[in-house]
Structure 1
Amino acid sequence: MTEALSFGCRLNAAESEAMRALAPGAGWAGALLVNTCAVTAEAEAQARQAIRRAHRADPARPILVTGCAAQVAPAAWAALPGVARVIGNGAKLDPASWDAPVGPIPRGAPVVAAASGGTRAVLAVQQGCDHACTFCVIPRGRGPARALPVAEAASRAAALAERHREIVLSGVDLASHPDLPGLVRAVLRAAPGLARLRLSSLDPAALDERFWAVWAEEERLAPFLHLSLQHAEDLVLKRMGRRHRHAGLLALFRRARDLRPGAALGGDLIAGFPTESEAQHAWLEQFIAEAGLAFAHVFPYSARPGTPAARMPALPVPLRRERAARLRAAAAASRARFLRGRVGCLEEVLMESDQRGHSAHLVPVALAAPRGALVRARITDTDGATLRGEAA
């Protein structure tokens, strides 16, 4: 049986599922697919370890390697034991091109991939990135920004909605889709039975008036924003090459909550970026509480070869890890405050098992109900990380 190991983002997971389905027809039945991530050195190390373990367990099994790390340094991955093929990110969804050498990703490379596990489906509608954040190699790994046309995306979403109650629209830089607001409306029109549409990570600098109209008007669009924040102190953001600033983030958070009271807002944060002072880190810690983040994905800064940030004065690794731990503690406290605010509320819970589901805010809810059901529940308690509810 063809298996896939996916590292990194939700988009990688969707692509891995698509590749797993394509592999037998391409002559790779029984192979192991490894979809790598280049965001951090740790993610790369985990993928290398997985390849070595798999080869030791079954030396005869061919291993196909793809993903951003493999795109950036194909020769290094091809040299690992058991690797039969390194497949470029631009070819991973086109089996006819799996034998081609890894090369630059063209603007016309395939975009769409879908993962259909459980009650929720992930649909990739955008690929690549045209920005130049100083810490990031993803533009080299994913190529230029490109998007699935609205009509095709809506059609694919409608097909997924026949089997799933929730769909996540995903992309490398989803907010760069030429018509994200129109896409959201088209998907919801094409799938009238879909209970919930969710968006993956968004660049806060790209959210325009049309987006806010959709956010306010479309009730089936989940009240959940995962934002590519990275930091909140202006000088650090400038050195990162980010396009937003602290005041703009706070204004965005206020607007999102004014239009959708109780919305869950959060995103990605980098701890210990080069030159970050203790005062700048404290500013970011304070921002977590100031903005009322419902969740945060915290990463210690990881230098990526060839990026401008890798040439900046770096902080010691132990200090980066210590600051990441402080951010995680601040984020956990902020999440607990958000969850305490949901106690007594009515939530629509999409059941992933007969004992557990998730709310529209993507919060786990302990609840007894049939798997796949959409249950209206009153929240009775929280442990600070999850909610507990009873069918209303």
Structure 2
Amino acid sequence: MTDPKSETEIVTFGCRLNTYESEVMRQHARDAGLENTIIFNTCAVTAEAERQARQSIRKARRDNPDARIIVTGCAAQINPDSFASMDEVDRVLGNEEKLKAESFGIHETARVAVNDIMEIEETAAHLVHGFEEHTRAFVQIQQGCNHRCTFCIIPYGRGNNRSVPIGAITEQVRELVSNGVQEVVFTGVDITDYGLDLPGTPTLGQMTRRVLALVPELPRLRLSSIDPVEIDEDVYQLLAEEPRLMPHLHISLQAGDDMVLKRMKRRHLRNDVETMVRRARALRPDVVFGADIIAGFPTEDDTMFRNSLNLVRDLDLTYLHVFPYSPRPGTPAAKMPQVPGPTRKARAASLREAGQEAENRFYQSLIGKDVEVLMEKGNFGRCQHYAPIAVEDCEETEKLRGTIVSARVTGFKDGKLTALRNPSA
């Protein structure tokens, strides 16, 4: 029996890009022969995310007194000294260093290895084999962000926009599909800025169209969070014409009030979101939307909040990621007049409730309809809209895992849909 301590454990916080990069680190750690090591891949999107990381690091040290603890990710990139000063931490890696195989050498002793991320000019492609056991895999198409929203510290942890060339993305997707992956998710920090730094400035849609053409064996493709005002024409055309592009878009919304959006220095206004959602639905009537929303941004009054809440209801936004605003030192928003903490929490709860109501309505609307379910574990999977589904007559679970099953939705209970396989499929 393998000693569990011989395996490197990776604790991931935050975004899908971190999830992808954790798999890269897992492969590097395995190749380097690291043992009894715990890697924390941190997030800096809120002060609370960093607090949770510190709490987890301390707990890990108590539970594993002999383990080597490595801390990396955005919080470590932005504030490496604060993690290096923790008695529990053995080593701190920057966001660029964590993706290099040489950073995980068993004889590597430098306590802090963090370069200036703002000086990094390109992003390398990383072929990841760690996703072989999964049915869904993330592929990094770009890194960093050229914009400076007033609430966001992430550009200082990720650097400016750097895109992965189309050929390298295609190679990764082809490799993943050959290893059994049925669904690929294009991820990054600001994927609608894809290609601005590449020769010929290919857009996100042009790159996506090219990859789908070059890897016809890829069954399903998703896009991660998108900016509603920067979607290019090819994305809209693919949404209308390409069934392999899943009808599920996640909007980097943040607020539904124009004044709040201006104070956030977002690139869109409320009308831009409404226009994008209605256009997408006209092209693909079954498309479902998620959104990131910040509750209680500085200066947000009751009217401004109601505008955000009403936008969620008016557009029937389904999968919400709601964050009570958390001041981030070093950002302009942290110096603005703050909304009281209890008010932020109450507004976040109202937004989550509205999102849950929309989600329940959407699930109910699927009852009686045929869906394609990517089987993940046991009889559980997700359909093309990312809705969770239990296919109740899937008994050959190991055989069906990682396959796409045609099913008819029969009901909704315990937070997920139920379905039966289509006998004609």
TM-score higher than 0.5:
yes
- Structure 2 distance, partners of 1:142, 1:16, is 15
SS at match of 1:283: helix
Post-superposition offset of 1:206: 1.1
- Letter matched to residue 408 of structure 2: R
Counterpart residue type for residue 14 of structure 1:
Y
Q: How does 1:103-122 map to 2 (within 5 A)?
A: 103-105=115-117, 106-113=119-126, 114=128, 116=131, 117-122=133-138
Q: Does 1:390 align with 2:414?
A: no
Distance in 2 separating the partners of 1:107 and 1:256: 35
CA contact (8 A) 1:123 1:167 kept: yes
Give how far 1:97 is off: 5.2
2:190 maps to: 173
Deviation at 1:82, TM superposition (A): 2.8
Match of 1:44 in 2: 50
Is residue 152 from structure 1 mapped to residue 168 from structure 2 by the alignment?
Answer: yes
1:101 paired with 2:113, answer yes
The residue that corresponds to 2:67 in the other structure is 61
The alpha-carbon deviation at position 83 of structure 1 amounts to 1.4
**Does the 8 A contact of 2:209 with 2:234 survive in 1?**
no
| Residue 391 (structure 1) shift | 0.9
Distance 2:134 2:240 in 1: 28
1:14 matched to 2:20? The reply is yes
| 8 Å Cα contact 1:12-1:35 kept in structure 2 | yes
2:246 counterpart (222, 230, 233): 222
Aligned match of 1:184: 208
Larger displacement relative to structure 2 (11-20 or 94-103): 94-103
Q: CA deviation at 1:217?
A: 1.8
TM-score after normalising by structure 1: 0.96
User: What is the identity percentage for the equivalent residue pairs of Structure 1 and Structure 2?
Assistant: 45
Matched, 1:5 2:11: yes
* Matched residue, 1:372: 402
Aligned pairs for 1:210-249 within 5 A: 210-249=234-273
Question: Where does the alignment leave 5 or more consecutive residues of structure 1 unmatched?
Answer: none
Identify the match of residue 302 of structure 1 among 326, 332, 352: 326
Matched, 1:347 2:359: no
Question: Pairwise mapping of residues 243-262 of structure 1 onto structure 2 (< 5 A)?
Answer: 243-262=267-286
Deviation at 1:26, TM superposition (A): 4.4
Native 8 Å contact 1:69 1:141 kept in 2: yes
How far off is 1:24 after superposition?
Answer: 4.5
Kindly state the Cα deviation for residue 155 of structure 1 after the two structures are TM-superposed.
Answer: 1.2
Question: In the aligned structure 2, how far is the partner of 1:14 from the partner of 1:101?
Answer: 21
Q: Distance in 2 between matches of 1:385 and 1:59?
A: 39
Q: 2:250 touches 2:291 (CA, 8 Å); kept in 1? A: yes
Q: Distance in 1 between matches of 2:124 and 2:266?
A: 25
1:27-53 Cα distance to aligned partner (Å, 9 max, x none): 643321110000112211111111111
The alpha-carbon deviation at position 23 of structure 1 amounts to: 2.1
The alignment's C-alpha RMSD in Å is 1.6
> Matched residue of 1:130: which SS?
coil
Deviation digits for residues 43-90 of structure 1, max 9, x if unmatched?
Answer: 111111111111112222111111000011100011112312111112
Q: Is the 8 A contact 2:316 2:358 kept in 1?
A: yes
Equivalent residues of 2:122, 2:163 under 8 A apart = no
1:129 aligned partner: 145
Number of equivalenced pairs:
392
* Contact 1:347–1:378 under 8 Å retained in 2: yes
Match of 1:284 among 283, 286, 308: 308
Q: Distance in 1 between matches of 2:120 and 2:237?
A: 30
Secondary structure, aligned partner of 2:386: coil
Pick the aligned partner of 1:316 from 330, 340, 347.
340
**Which deviates the most, 136-145 or 20-29?**
20-29
